[in-house]
Amino acid sequence: MKISVIGCGYLGAVHAASMAKLGHDVVAVDVDPVKIERLAAGDAPFFEPGLPEILAEAIASGRIRFTTDMAEVAGARVHFVAVGTPQGPTGAADLTYVDAAVAGLVPYLSDGEFVVGKSTVPVGTAARLAASVSESVPGATLVWNPEFLREGFAVQDTISPDRLVYGVPSGAAGDAAVAALDEVYATTLADGTPRLVVDLATAELVKVSANAFLATKISFINAMAEIAEVVGADVTALADAIGHDERIGRKFLNAGLGFGGGCLPKDIRAFQARATELGVGESLDFLADVDAINLRRRAHVVTLAQDLLDGAVAGKRVGVLGLAFKPNSDDVRDSPALDIAARLVELGATVSAYDPQANGTAARIRPELTYVDSADAAVRDADLVLVLTEWNEFRTLDPARVAGLVARPVVVDGRNCLDRDAWTAAGFTVRGMGR
């Protein structure tokens, strides 16, 4: 099928390459010429495992092309809208890019074509955009097909998702949209992926409520970490024990620095803002606590670092391992790790930071940190080591060797990812989260 993808960020670039991988003929559009040039040359503009391979395959097969010219989407049967919905100044989602993408697409849209929203939007957006699309091109239909991909697993999550959700209008237009999307995802559906057909508002809510639930789960365990820290209990053992209850489950119960990234933080804020607009703000009041618990983790680590440096941070050397909001990503948007590192610089520490992929992205927004190109260089002569992103490279560090590099053997394990016994045996004072 001829498909267009509008927006080539973390979501759109992966979606476009994955659609080509599924055998479709894809035209991918972005307003950023540099990004388009890099993608056209097979150079992924961000780190995402598996993306370079499927991108190269798609380019070699001739099934994908990248352009800044919206006119090239003409003739595609399905047009995916995959642009960003960043947090606006009030916490509500900024819909500028979604509105511009749809408005830019409409002049090239024909009867029988489908506009398929993938971006995370406040509930009600799809109905509004659907009305404007059918006003301009009565034979075209707008539907919503939210994306649930996790960074680091984005290719796998796009090609073999947990579920497909189609938000469609009722009637013949909706039926035709379901048939078109079934054709797009034929391979995925043949693998047995569950597919749910719902109305537009439900599809929008599925996405934001899934993220709200995941954020709540993480903040729940981090609240338990706060309690555990006071009473000397171990939150990891607690998570293991409650996780055996199938109704609870062990996933997303890792206490630590909490959630960051381009999705969970902004999505829970946008959801609260939208609920307030709809007059049901009270229903999501708990998300303010979820957000507050999450942000307290960062403050807690900064305080812990101050204590471990005997209250005198200025002039001390801090080695920071990890800057990305999670491993296998170079994304530092709302990253707890980068936030903590920057706060320590503000307090006068000399921070040497290393991330296997995110040094470049971090340096662009936090030039005040000193970036080094290895874990060894980051910890050398450090008065304190902070492990802030649980990359495998850090989990498998040899603590005895690290002990030989640092000035003082003190480590904060912000993600509870180190072998405590091994680090203690190597002479380190180890401070975990909620243990």
| Residues between 138 and 177 with contacts to ligand UDX, criterion CB under 6 A | 147-151
Are 387 and 417 in contact by the 8 Å Cβ rule? The answer is yes
Residues 6+ apart with CB under 8 A from 317: 349, 350, 352, 381, 382, 383, 384, 407
**Binding residue for ligand UDX (CB under 6 A) from 218, 290, 318, 341?**
218
- As measured in angstroms, the least distance from the Cβ of 330 to ligand UDX is 12
Round the CA-based radius of gyration of the chain to a whole number and report it.
Answer: 23
**Nearest CB to ligand UDX, comparing residues 149 and 369:** 149
Are 123 and 85 in contact by the 8 Å Cβ rule? The answer is no
Question: What mask of x and - would describe binding to ligand UDX in positions 70 to 109, judged by CB under 6 A?
Answer: ----------------------------------------
| Residues between 320 and 359 with contacts to ligand UDX, criterion CB under 6 A | 325-326
**Catalytic site residue from 263, 340, 341, 342:** 263
Q: The tokens of 120 are what?
A: 């995370």
Question: What mask of x and - would describe binding to ligand UDX in positions 259 to 278, judged by CB under 6 A?
Answer: xxx-xx--------------
Q: How far is residue 179's CA from residue 22's CA, in Å, rounded to a whole number?
A: 17
Q: β-pairing, 78-81 with 114-117?
A: parallel
Q: How far is residue 241's CA from residue 262's CA, in Å, rounded to a whole number?
A: 31
**Nearest CB to ligand UDX, comparing residues 140 and 412:** 412
263 as an active site residue: the answer is: yes
Q: The tokens of 280 are what?
A: 């049901």
CA distances (Å), origin 206, targets 78, 147, 165, 376: 22, 10, 8, 44
Please report, as a single letter, which amino acid is at residue 380: R
**Nearest CB to ligand UDX, comparing residues 174 and 261:** 261
- As measured in angstroms, the least distance from the Cβ of 367 to ligand UDX is 23
Q: Which range binds ligand UDX by CB under 6 A, 78-86, 131-139, 252-260, 373-381?
A: 252-260
| Residues between 195 and 214 with contacts to ligand UDX, criterion CB under 6 A | 211, 214
Q: Decide: is 434 part of the binding site for ligand UDX (CB under 6 A).
A: no
- Residue among 138, 131, 141, 143 nearest 173 (CA): 141
**Nearest CB to ligand UDX, comparing residues 247 and 251:** 251
Q: What is the DSSP string of 266-326?
A: HHHHHHHHHHHHTT-GGGGHHHHHHHHHHHHHHHHHHHHHHHHTTT--TT-EEEEE--SSS
Q: Decide: is 395 part of the binding site for ligand UDX (CB under 6 A).
A: no
Q: Decide: is 64 part of the binding site for ligand UDX (CB under 6 A).
A: no
**Nearest CB to ligand UDX, comparing residues 208 and 309:** 208
Count of residues of this chain found to bind ligand UDX when the rule CB under 6 A is applied: 20
Q: How far is residue 339's CA from residue 388's CA, in Å, rounded to a whole number?
A: 10
Residues that bind ligand UDX (CB under 6 A): 147-151, 211, 214, 218, 252-254, 256, 258-261, 263-264, 325-326
Indicate which residues carry an active-site annotation. Answer: 263
